[in-house]
Structure 1
């Protein structure tokens, strides 16, 4: 059906944009300080969100829940992006996109709300496959020699899983406008990074047009567009299909790193990449089936600035 194909195409585009964000962040971080990069990304996103709220027809009052949840999630999301951006600055974009996908199997372990019960043993086997994949990816014969960036991305995956679980706990069963929530998060992030980024603002202002294009891409496409497009698409398809298509993000990260970033894919790294994709998909399928048995097949929550 045309509508189904359109929805699938939007979800794949979101996954592609998120996958490409690691290379864009890595390149921009090489030109300007990371904290200045993060402030610019948040500030541009916040301006876009405020403009969308102002332009939307039909004024809707902001609720206390939206402000409280957005403020807390803004802090946790900022922590994710600090680790991700510093991490990708010291590793390959391909490794970053693959290791961060560990979030898929970590989130169910942290999300114990809702009485979903103990996860099957097979799920932990899938997590073990992902751990083996990380070992191959960061080995000396992988995409590059092991660096501190891999550890930072691994930490980002843990924090990101906690962030996603927190989104579910703060929004499930509550009336929360996604755009309002995203706007609060971007405003909080802008405020958090303003003072730490002051020292790097002169470099930010003097940065090249290419760097500004990357910053605008990260803010408008990888953050605002991707989140709103994901929300629109998830409402028009099943949770299982949305998860399947969005789960292609690490594949696009590898494609961008190799095709555009000139990163090398060795045999060991290729095996690690294949195991990571297989392990996350396997774990995702097991967790989804487990959710279905307890009649809770809702899509995994997400927020802007995910990629």
Structure 2
């Protein structure tokens, strides 16, 4: 299994710079999903919110695929199984936990829990795909994750220890596990298909899996009234937080592999806290900028040659 879908070796520096820029923008878009998701979660139940996001995103991805590649190609049986697993983990699983957790916790607190994602993905990639965890890469991951966590904790490490874990925190850990599995399962498929096709198939599969759960919520609670702000946040979640972000993330995994791509997720909490302060009035601390520097150095070290 470890011989499947190895990332390309030594891409040209100009191409690497483009990939790093897209991953940074992906982190920016994903950072914005926390305040946007918080707004949506206050209006819609979790499966309805997730279905709305990915139904819109599926339309966008299919349109983009028709324009760029002429349409969807047929899949082999193993590819079909992989696509359904991507939909189950990265679309249904992640978003169910995401919107459910955001109903009862702050966007900043949710972002803190997501800081564990790059570490879990790196360990999973080492065990599953045989990616090397060099001392420099471990140091880089430690700096990135620590910087993100301390920024959210207002520069006070004891805050992380003193804060009691609640049930909604465990729900958000489901996001971490779901996204780790999605990233690891993404690698073999993106080597056989294009990144855009992989993202499109995953999104379509996840949307189909979400449909009966959304229907059950609507039958049980009635069709919700959706304010204009919620529609705007859903559009953001669908277009930038899904269509663009999933496409660029899959393209990065194809070249860099799971661990080096996932380390950019460490930027997400810092961005999420900043945007939550700007748009939701959540607390902001001066240590956030030092935390961002720590994350940037960690990303740089993680992506150095082995």
TM-score range, shorter chain: 0.7 to 0.9
Equivalent of 1:73 in 65, 86, 111: 86
- Equivalent position of 2:56 in the other structure: 44
Equivalent of 1:123 in 123, 134, 138: 138
Cα RMSD for the two superposed structures: 4.2
Instruction: Work out whether 1:19 is the aligned partner of 2:31.
Output: yes
TM-score with structure 2 length normalisation? 0.73
Equivalent of 2:186 in 143, 158, 167: 167
Q: Summarize the Cα distance change of 1:257–1:154 in structure 2 as closer, same or farther, 3 Å threshold.
A: same
| Alpha-carbon separation, structure 2, partners of 1:67 and 1:165 | 16
Q: Which runs of 5+ in 2 are unaligned?
A: 1-12
| Alpha-carbon separation, structure 2, partners of 1:277 and 1:88 | 27
Instruction: Work out whether 1:95 is the aligned partner of 2:109.
Output: yes
Instruction: Work out whether 1:104 is the aligned partner of 2:121.
Output: no
Structure 1 residues 6-58: Cα deviation after superposition (integer angstroms, max 9, x where no partner) = 77654433221110101101110101111110111111111222222333354
Q: Summarize the Cα distance change of 1:131–1:31 in structure 2 as closer, same or farther, 3 Å threshold.
A: closer
| Alpha-carbon separation, structure 2, partners of 1:48 and 1:132 | 34
Structure 1 residues 67-103: Cα deviation after superposition (integer angstroms, max 9, x where no partner) = 3321111111121221122122221112222321211
- Equivalent position of 1:61 in the other structure: 73
Structure having the higher helix fraction is: 2
Asked if the contact 1:90–1:148 (Cα under 8 Å) also holds between the matched residues in 2, the reply is no
| Alpha-carbon separation, structure 1, partners of 2:119 and 2:282 | 26
| Alpha-carbon separation, structure 2, partners of 1:286 and 1:3 | 18
Q: Summarize the Cα distance change of 1:48–1:251 in structure 2 as closer, same or farther, 3 Å threshold.
A: same
Equivalent of 1:186 in 172, 187, 203: 203
Q: Summarize the Cα distance change of 1:154–1:286 in structure 2 as closer, same or farther, 3 Å threshold.
A: farther
- Equivalent position of 2:170 in the other structure: 151
| Alpha-carbon separation, structure 2, partners of 1:131 and 1:18 | 14
- Equivalent position of 2:228 in the other structure: 209
| Alpha-carbon separation, structure 2, partners of 1:11 and 1:131 | 17
Per-residue deviation at 1:223?
A: 0.2
Q: Which runs of 5+ in 1 are unaligned?
A: 294-307
| Alpha-carbon separation, structure 2, partners of 1:264 and 1:152 | 23
Per-residue deviation at 1:222?
A: 0.4
Asked if the contact 1:69–1:181 (Cα under 8 Å) also holds between the matched residues in 2, the reply is no
Greater shift in the superposed pair: 227-236 or 59-68: 227-236
Asked if the contact 1:107–1:165 (Cα under 8 Å) also holds between the matched residues in 2, the reply is yes
| Alpha-carbon separation, structure 1, partners of 2:85 and 2:213 | 19
Per-residue deviation at 1:120?
A: 4.6
Structure 1 residues 251-305: Cα deviation after superposition (integer angstroms, max 9, x where no partner) = 21110111111112469xx58x9679847964x566555xx43xxxxxxxxxxxx
Structure 1 residues 190-239: Cα deviation after superposition (integer angstroms, max 9, x where no partner) = 22221221244486562111111111111111000223345668889999
Q: Summarize the Cα distance change of 1:239–1:148 in structure 2 as closer, same or farther, 3 Å threshold.
A: closer
